Every structure is written in structure tokens, then in C-alpha cells.
Amino acid sequence: MNILDELKDAASVGITGHVRPDGDCMGSTLGLYNYLKDNRPDLKTDVFLEEPGKEFSYLTGIENIKNVPENTQYDVFVVLDCSSKDRIEPFVQCFDNAKKTICIDHHVSNSDFADVNLVRPDASSTCEVLYDTFDEDKVQKDVAECIYTGIIHDTGVFKYSSTSAKTMTIAGKMMEKGIAYSDIIDNSFYKKTYVQNQILGRALLESVLFYDGKCIFSNVTKDEMDFYGVTGKELGGIIEQLRLTDGVEVAIFLYETGENEHKVSMRSKKTIDVSRIAVEFGGGGHVRAAGFTGKGSVYSIINKIGEMIEQQYCNE
Ligand code: AMP
Ligand code: MN
Ligand code: MN
């Protein structure tokens, strides 16, 4: 797909990504926004997303993001880094009203919900898939910053198994556009506030190893989040540290989102397909990184996940 060809008859384009936007979601939505601003200035282009994290404030166009849906009928509505329609709430009405919809993504659990779907589960990030729809010579520094951001976030700075030689080639090309790559990595990926570090410490302290040390979980309650004054999107680094625990194959992190409701993140190292588990709970993701929002107590959720992990080991 060449995105400029795909949009050549359009006069207006709406763009969105998934709820609780992460680095790949921010990078791909703003990457497309900036690419269209640079190369199709005549086009009315809007980005709809929930309030993004402060760590992404260096991305061009972030100040123009709309947080509330509009009743506009877009010629084309593009959904990025999102595997199903229910994950674009509250902007689903913009999607439903649009004349044509496009989804560009890399989730193995993607349900091909748009009119045109470009889904590459082998790609490290949506930014990598999106970059392939661009003309290389039309990519400017503002777009390069976005693409690089998405790639580093979804590869854990080039280390997850989804990282390929192609990923590195694209990242290298982005570096050649003059981006401040060290700052992007430090400030958007690794930097933590003091309270984020405190709650990370607490989550690690209270983590529980189970299944002969092959699994680990930790959870943060609503009261704890209120005590430290943090929101769910500031708990991003915890699952990664749990995953690094020696001997662990599956790491699970939960935080309370409401009455008897938890946001659950899972990561695996080599054998367990956590996407399959997430799909069973109505969520989705990738083989090595997946999530869902689950009803029930922490222990009931952990017990169910434990059973599914055991099943996968038995079926190996
Ligand atoms: P997280 O644990 O939220 O960082 O998510 C890990 C991966 O799973 C990301 O690629 C998410 O987009 C995906 N994911 C998380 N939660 C859900 C969900 N409820 N439905 C579908 N995909 C999800
Ligand atoms: Mn994402
Ligand atoms: Mn992604």
C-alpha cells in the first residue's frame, strides 16, 4: 500500500489509535499525521486520541490531538496499532460515519475490522508497517521522530524477538534524518518520575513467583495508585522488570481499574503464547506481549491464567 495513492481522492482524513495510547500508537498516529501535513497540506487531517503521556510531548503535532469525538464525516478514517473496533472507543462514531476505513496494524489478534486492512503480525511495530506505505524521500525529520519512537517502544529498544534486520534498517534511516535518538530513548522510554520509581519498587517487593518460578505476578490497587498519585499509564515499566526475573517465562502485571476489574498485562520470553490467553479473556496482542481488561479478583484472574499456561505446557 502507498498511503498517498490510497488517499489521493480524499479531502478529509481522520486518524486514531488504541485506548491508553503507547509509544507505537503515538508514533504511528502522529507519524501519519505529520507525513500528510508535509505532503498533502490541502488535506483536512485530524488525530483523535485519549490524553497522551507527557513523555511524548516532543512529537510534532501532539498539541493538535483531539480528545473528544466529532460529528464530522471523514472521507477516510485510519486506525493504527489497534486490533479491534472496541479498542477505539470513544472515537468509534468517527469510524462508523466515515466513507472508507483503513486499518494499519501488527497485532496477531487483529480482526480485519476496516474496509482495507494492512496487518503484518511479523512486524515489530505499527510504525514499521506504516513506514512501508511512505515514499522514503518524502519522510521528513518530524515523521522520523515519530517512526523511531514507535519502533523503540514496541521493541523495548531493539531487544524483543519482534526486532528484525528490517526494523534496524528503518531505525537507521530515521537516524539519518537528524533525530535526537539518544534523547528520544532516554526521555520517552526509560525516564521515570520519582513516584513511578517508588511504585515500581513496591510492585517488585510484593511480586509473587509461582509455577516453580516460571511465572511471576504483581498487582497495584486503586488505593495504592491514589496514594502515589499515579494513573495506569504511568505503570508501564513494571511488567518489563518482572519479565526480566531470572527463570521466569511469563510475567503478569495487574492494576485495578474499577470495582472487581483489572487491566492485565502479560509478557513471555520463549514458549508461552500470551496472545492466545489474552484472546480467551476478550483482549489481544502479540505472542510475547498481550493484555486484556478482566473481571474478578486478582487471584481468580491469576488462577485462570495459570491454568491456561499449564495447558500450553502440556500441549507442547
Ligand atoms: P500492554 O500489556 O497493555 O502493554 O499490551 C501489550 C500488547 O497487547 C499491546 O500490543 C496492546 O496493544 C495489546 N493489548 C493490550 N490490551 C489489549 C486488549 N484489551 N485488547 C486487545 N489488545 C490488547
Ligand atoms: Mn500499542
Ligand atoms: Mn504496536
Cell 475490522 appears where?
A: 113
Q: How far is the CA of 263 from the centre of ligand 2 (A)?
A: 14
Is there a contact between 178 and 48 (Cβ–Cβ < 8 Å)? no
Q: How far is the CA of 106 from the centre of ligand 3 (A)?
A: 6
Atom of ligand 1 nearest to the CA of 275: 8
The number of the ligand nearest the C-alpha atom of 130 reads 3
Give yes or no for a cis peptide into 69 (omega within 30° of 0).
no
The reported pTM is: 0.93
Report the distance separating Cα 5 and Cα 205, nearest Å. 53
The residues pairing with 294 across neighbouring beta strands, listed in sequence order, are 262
Residues in the chain: 316
Average per-residue pLDDT for the chain: 97
Q: Which of 22, 28, 85 to mutate to test the pocket of ligand 1 (most atoms within 8 A of CB)?
A: 22
User: What mean pLDDT is predicted for residues 16-34?
Assistant: 98
pLDDT tens sequence across 43-101 = 999 999 999 999 999 999 999 999 999 999 999 999 999 999 999 989 999 999 999 99
Ligand 3 ion: Cβ-proximal residues, 5 Å cutoff: 24, 81, 126, 154
Q: Which of 71, 28, 75 is nearest to 49 (CA)?
A: 28
Pocket perturbation via mutation, ligand 1, pick of 16, 20, 28, 83 by most ligand atoms within 8 A of CB: 83
Locus of grid cell 497485532: 107
Q: Are 161 and 274 in contact (CB under 8 A)?
A: no
As to burial, measured by CB atoms within 10 angstroms (0-12 exposed, 13-18 middle, 19+ buried), residue 238 is buried
Q: Using the structure block, give the residue that is written with the C-alpha cell 521528513.
A: 140
pLDDT tens, residue by residue, 257-311: 999 999 999 999 999 999 999 999 999 999 999 999 999 999 999 999 999 999 9
- To which residue does cell 485519549 refer? 50
Partners of residue 264 on adjacent β-strands: 254, 292
Q: Specify whether the CB–CB gap between 238 and 270 falls below 8 A.
A: no
Strands 76-80, 100-105: parallel, antiparallel or unpaired by DSSP?
parallel
pLDDT at 41: 98
In this structure, the residues whose C-beta lies within 6 A of any atom of ligand 1 are: 18, 83, 87, 265, 283-286, 289-293
* Torsion sign, CA atoms 44, 49, 53, 55: negative
Distances (CA, A) of 21 to 150, 233, 310: 11, 8, 32
